[in-house]
Every structure is written in structure tokens, then in C-alpha cells.
Amino acid sequence: MNFAQYHASFSRIEMTRREGILLMRLHNEGQSLHWDMEAQQQFIRAFELVGSDRENRVIILTGAGEDFSGPRVDPDRHQFFHDAKVTATSIDPLLYNARKMLMNLINIEVPIIAAVNGPAKRHCDLVLSADIVLASEQASFEDTAHFHFGSIVPGDGISIVFTQLLGLNRARYLMLTGQVLSATEAKQLGLVSEILPAEKLLDRAWQLAEQLAKKSDMLLRNTRSVLIQPLRKALQDDLRYFLALESIGVLAHPDK
């Protein structure tokens, strides 16, 4: 499927392409992305199509509005905890989708530049998995859906991404305490490459993308494969097991 056939197929993703550089803006009716199952399902298919289209040579991933993604999970109203009908059968598609979404993103074979426009309250692993991470001065990074905020095992890949990028001790502290990293702290820890005023963020992303796009297709794809391999291997080795632990925790929750 070519770009003309798929670019307008997703209500949560605005896609534009210029000279092989694809801009993917995640949103909710033009505003900041509100995380839900519809978004997850759209991202699975979108990342698969984008990755299979060899006309895409560099990807820019960004958001809309003031936040990159949200909202934080309210454990008192979490859909999993208070649905008496949740069973292993009903939760299996959700966990399958969680795995497919992240792996489809990781399996894109061209460089990805993340332009994090604001707080990444949900699934900051999407932008932190990029090859180059740019952040606005208002951006922040956290895990709001699991242990500290949502009382769920962090099994959907975010623990793997944080551990790979931060190291074991820093990652464990963040996930156990609910630490929120500012853009400055994220840069100091190596999660972010550059911090820019919000109005200059996308211009810088395009500048870097145009610089990368001067290279040959083979060089772009093979270099991305080399650079992403440690993270891909960690996800392939452990993601299914961690998702199984997450599902056990949801099914056994006393409020269910």
C-alpha cells in the first residue's frame, strides 16, 4: 500500500511527507493525544504500513497541543480493575496489541526523530525509542499507567525501554516512585539529545531529517538496524513474559 492510499486512514495520526521525510503527528481531534484502545489499534496498523513503505526514508514523530500524550491513569477508575467480566480471554487482545504496537515501531527500518512537544504522560516509550529525541522546554517523561500510579505491573515494554536507556537502578527508581523527568533532567540522563523552544522544535527536526535523508537508502536502513538492535533484542527476549506478568496482576486485582 502506498502513501496516497494510507496517509489519511487514521483519525489519530496526521501524516504529511516531503521528499521522503514522513511527519507523523499523533493527536485526538487535533489536540493532545488522549491514550485509549482506539489509539493503540491505529498505531499498530500505521507503524506497520509506514515501515513497509520504502518511500519513507526518515520519520519524524511528534504530537499536537500542549501534551505529547496523556492522561495519567486514575487507579480508582481504571477500566481493568472494575470490570468483573475481565478474563484471560478478554485481556489477551489488549496485551497482543501492546506487543504489536511497540514491535511494529521498533521494526521500522529507517531513522526516527522524535519531536516531543510537551509532557509524555502515557507511553513515552514511543518517543524514547526514536534514534534522535528532541524535546521542547515544556516536555517531561514518566510512567503513569503502571506501578506507582495505576497499580499495574509495567510489563508492556516501558520497563525494558527505560532500563535499556537509563540503566537498571535509575529505571527501577523511576518506575517504583513515579518520578517525572523534566526535559532538562532527561537530557542530563541521556534520554534527550536537544532541548528547544516549542516554536523551534519541528524546524530542528526537519533540519536533522533533511541531513539524514542525504544518505543512501541502504545506509539509512542498515544503520538504523544496527543502532536499534540492542533494544529490539531486549524486547524480543522479554516482552511476552513481562506482558504475562502484567495480565496476571490485572486478573488477580482484588477490586476486579
CATH number for the domain that contains residue 157: 3.90.226.10
pLDDT value for 162: 97
pTM: 0.92
pLDDT in tens, 114-158: 999 999 999 999 999 999 999 999 999 999 888 876 678 898 899
- Cα(59)–Cα(17) distance, integer angstroms: 9
| Mean predicted confidence (pLDDT) in 10-19 | 98
What is the domain extent for residue 192? 3-252
pLDDT value for 101: 95
pLDDT in tens, 88-99: 787 788 888 889
- 60 confidence band (pLDDT: 50, 70, 90): very high
- 256 confidence band (pLDDT: 50, 70, 90): very low
DSSP H/E element including 171: helix 168-177
- 76 confidence band (pLDDT: 50, 70, 90): low
Closest CA to 67 of 125, 138, 10, 133: 138
Give the CA-trace dihedral at 99, 102, 106, 109, to 10 degrees. 100
* Whether the predicted pLDDT of 11 surpasses 60: yes
| Mean predicted confidence (pLDDT) in 185-204 | 98
* Whether the predicted pLDDT of 254 surpasses 70: no
Which residues lie below 8 Å from residue 188, measured CB to CB, with a gap of 6+?
Answer: none
pLDDT value for 83: 54
Looking at the 3D structure of the chain, how many domains does it have? 1
- Cα(51)–Cα(188) distance, integer angstroms: 31
